[in-house]
Structure 1
Amino acid sequence: MEQVLQQWRDAVITATESKTPLRIRGGGTKDWYGQALHGQILDTREYRGIIAYEPTELVITARCGTPLSEIEAALDEHNQMLAFEPPHFGPGSTIGGVVAAGLSGPRRQAVGAVRDFVLGARLMDGRGEVLRFGGQVMKNVAGYDVSRLLAGSLGMLGLIVEVSLKVLPKPFSETTLRFEMNEQQAIERLNQWGGQPLPLSASAWHGGVLIVRLSGAQAAVKAAVQKMGGEEETQAAGFWNELRNQGNGFFAATSGPTALWRLSVPPVAPPLALGGEQLIEWGGAQRWLRTDSDAAGVRAAAERAGGHATLFRGGDKSAGVFHPLAPAVAKIHGNLKNAFDPAGIFNPGRMYNGF
């Protein structure tokens, strides 16, 4: 494996000297995510394998090219899981891509996002040096928790060589309930339940139907069912898996001029007056929108609600995929990019123009 690292180091140094862009790529399952792809491909799949896994310590460390399916299979043998439920988007998904994309699944509302489970990482910077973050060295001298900063960075700071992730035991019991109600009622009900000691682990509203998942001790789940009511969903496992990997009808229908937007807003935000079709997750905090509306209108609505909007799939990317940064935040992004990748070779423009 050291030979692979040396090959990468040589490629990075050569690219830095010639200012040739490099496109970091694992299984390519998220090539559609973000803005335009530029540069020579630096394939991570050869650098794979689980380095360490101690079930009693709830920590797994793996090389960047390790398939997500391989990691989940190892965890499954010990009845453990990546609790943030990262989407696969295809069989080639790698753990490096999981962290770089920073995308979480339905359970995120209960346990946290990808970044909350990153304990440490090794990163190859634009100078070809492999830096270690996390473990006993939780922060660098500038005060940034760099290992968690890599989550959602889309490779713009460097090549994630390996990661250490916190894992959790699978719940003893799970039940999914179904309720018929409109959008306003669903948002109100989710916020009411969110303020109570209920074992809610996921929620989804679409088309007049609210689906919620309860996870935890058998007694807690049983008591919650009696309190909440509703009808038990018999096809629950398939439903949550399709939602996690965006394989259900709502996401599959996104094509042509219709764009899929991902809006992050406060859970208590009322229904957003936007044309199109919505699916609501994470207790009301994540609003998926399929619409032909222009980017300015969608983002203005998200800002009025106290949030932001990402052009997730389709649409006109010239408007920018990610919500525009405030000047002060953009400066911080630029400084970080310059510190780790002074020549600007790693995934240029994948997040924002100029980075």
Structure 2
Amino acid sequence: LVWSGEIISSFFFQAEDGIRDLVRSRGLGDVYKRQMAVGAVRDFVLGARLLDGKGDLLNFGGQVMKNVAGYDVSRLLAGSLGCLGVLVEVSLKVLPKPLEEATLHFELSEAEAFGRFDRWAGQALPVSASAWSEGALRLRLSGAGPAVAAAGRTLGGEALEEGAATAFWAGLRDQAAPFFATGSAALIRLALPAGTPTVALPGSHLVEWGGAQRWCWAEPDRLPALRALAVAHGGHATLFRAPPGRAGDDVFTPLTAPLLRIHRALKRQFDPAGAFNRGRMYAEV
């Protein structure tokens, strides 16, 4: 998704492999890092055409806003990892490129950073991204020039040079930052509700989205305990990257019985023969 300097409410894409893979895996470029401010990838999907397991071409949604009556299948396809069918076309909403951006640097402990998150959440600030790790918090402001400048004066901190800020956020987006360097442990991603306080995570960890997304490196044997911790706070934990030579662990938090029934019913409806990525998300689906 290319950020445009113009305001475009909707734009139709003939899905090539890049766009299709981004939607089904929930990547969608820079939107992923801006999710705390602009919403998830599914919020950008207006419509889709799907080739299902019976060979039928199905159309869902459309090319304009407020176009869905009933079950919103087009958004269901975002993050489905190709388990329900082949995405043939996708209609996406795009956003205007922010007129100004600035990144602020703060030296804070994790507890202090979470205190700031709670305080800032109640203020009208143009925050588009945040990241804390190893005692340093980076906060990105995006929007009109006067709003960004006023927020910078209110928040304080040290302003990063534009090139350094761009490189930092690109490193997070592409997982090229030093934190994501391949190690012998498992990379685990915890998704927690906004406002969840600090939780005990093993080793070095990274906190994004004002605390709603947290990354840590841990031995695979710690995964069940971390999943239980996430579920206890109303979230879930994903095995994002397994260590070399390790296979067989569930990637996603196991579903509850009611949710598993829904997943199975959807799979049977769209792909009754199990032709598409069976077991890709859950062994039972």
> Please, what TM-score do these two structures have when normalized by structure 2?
0.90
In the alignment, which of 96, 104, 116 is matched to residue 20 of structure 2? 96
Q: Aligned equivalents of 1:275 and 1:285: distance in 2?
A: 17
Q: Aligned equivalents of 1:260 and 1:119: distance in 2?
A: 32
Q: Aligned equivalents of 2:142 and 2:38: distance in 1?
A: 11
Instruction: Say whether 1:298 aligns with 2:216.
Output: no
> Which residue is 1:151 aligned to?
78
> Which residue is 2:269 aligned to?
339
Q: Aligned equivalents of 1:98 and 1:191: distance in 2?
A: 31
- Where 1:224 maps in the other structure, the secondary structure is helix
Q: Aligned equivalents of 1:225 and 1:56: distance in 2?
A: 25
> Which residue is 2:99 aligned to?
172
> Which residue is 2:10 aligned to?
59
In the alignment, which of 219, 222, 225 is matched to residue 152 of structure 2? 225
Aligned-pair identity in percent equals 52
**1:239 partner letter:** F
Structure 2 residue runs of 5 or longer lacking an equivalent are none
**1:98 partner letter:** L
> Which residue is 1:197 aligned to?
124
Instruction: Say whether 1:259 aligns with 2:186.
Output: yes
Instruction: Say whether 1:129 aligns with 2:56.
Output: yes
Q: Aligned equivalents of 1:197 and 1:304: distance in 2?
A: 30
Instruction: Classify 1:191/1:317 alpha carbon distance in 2 versus 1 (closer, same or farther; 3 Å).
Output: farther
Q: Aligned equivalents of 1:323 and 1:128: distance in 2?
A: 31
Instruction: Say whether 1:352 aligns with 2:276.
Output: no
Report how far residue 163 of structure 1 moved. 0.3
> Which residue is 1:325 aligned to?
255
Report how far residue 288 of structure 1 moved. 0.7
Q: Aligned equivalents of 2:56 and 2:68: distance in 1?
A: 18
Q: Aligned equivalents of 1:273 and 1:56: distance in 2?
A: 42
Q: Aligned equivalents of 2:24 and 2:54: distance in 1?
A: 19
Instruction: Classify 1:265/1:317 alpha carbon distance in 2 versus 1 (closer, same or farther; 3 Å).
Output: farther
Report how far residue 64 of structure 1 moved. 2.7
String of CA shifts for 1:163-194, please: whole Å, max 9, x gaps.
Answer: 01000110111000000001111111012112
Contact map agreement 1:64 1:97 (CA 8 A) in 2: no
Report the number of matched residues.
271
In the alignment, which of 265, 289, 307 is matched to residue 216 of structure 2? 289
**2:76 partner letter:** L
Report how far residue 303 of structure 1 moved. 1.7
- Where 1:296 maps in the other structure, the secondary structure is helix
Contact map agreement 1:63 1:96 (CA 8 A) in 2: no
RMSD of the alignment, in Å?
1.8
**1:151 partner letter:** A
Instruction: Say whether 1:309 aligns with 2:237.
Output: yes
Q: Aligned equivalents of 1:56 and 1:309: distance in 2?
A: 36
Runs of 4+ in 1 over 6 A off after TM superposition: none
String of CA shifts for 1:67-120, please: whole Å, max 9, x gaps.
Answer: xxxxxxxxxxxxxxxxxxxxxxxxxxx110011101352211000010000000
String of CA shifts for 1:15-44, please: whole Å, max 9, x gaps.
Answer: xxxxxxxxxxxxxxxxxxxxxxxxxxxxxx
Contact map agreement 1:139 1:146 (CA 8 A) in 2: no
Q: Aligned equivalents of 1:255 and 1:61: distance in 2?
A: 40
In the alignment, which of 144, 158, 172 is matched to residue 243 of structure 1? 172
Report how far residue 237 of structure 1 moved. 0.6
- Where 2:58 maps in the other structure, the secondary structure is strand
**2:235 partner letter:** G
| Mean CA deviation greater in 318-327 or 115-124 | 318-327
**1:296 partner letter:** P
Report how far residue 277 of structure 1 moved. 1.4
Instruction: Say whether 1:161 aligns with 2:112.
Output: no
| Mean CA deviation greater in 267-276 or 280-289 | 267-276
